[in-house]
Amino acid sequence: ISSEEELDDKEKVVLDAIKNGAKTLNQVMKITGLPKATAYRKIKSLIRKGLVKIEIEDKKRILKVKEEGKKEN
């Protein structure tokens, strides 16, 4: 999947939060107002769909939006 059109409303909200600087599950929850379990499921779904990735920075897991057209190793 490369199209954001196939996302549900909550996935779109979570993706927008990450695009706007949310880097952790707690930040996504704060910005979106979603419960922890829902936010977690939507992040996992976005990762499976190839729109979000997790990177490790300073031993912390950081959420990032994958750049379109860029190959990930």
Q: What is the pLDDT of residue 73?
A: 44
pLDDT (tens digit per residue) in 8-55 = 999 999 999 999 999 999 999 999 999 999 999 999 999 999 999 999
Q: Reply yes or no on whether the pLDDT at 72 is more than 80.
A: no
Total-model pTM:
0.84
End-to-end CA distance of the chain: 17
SS3 30: helix
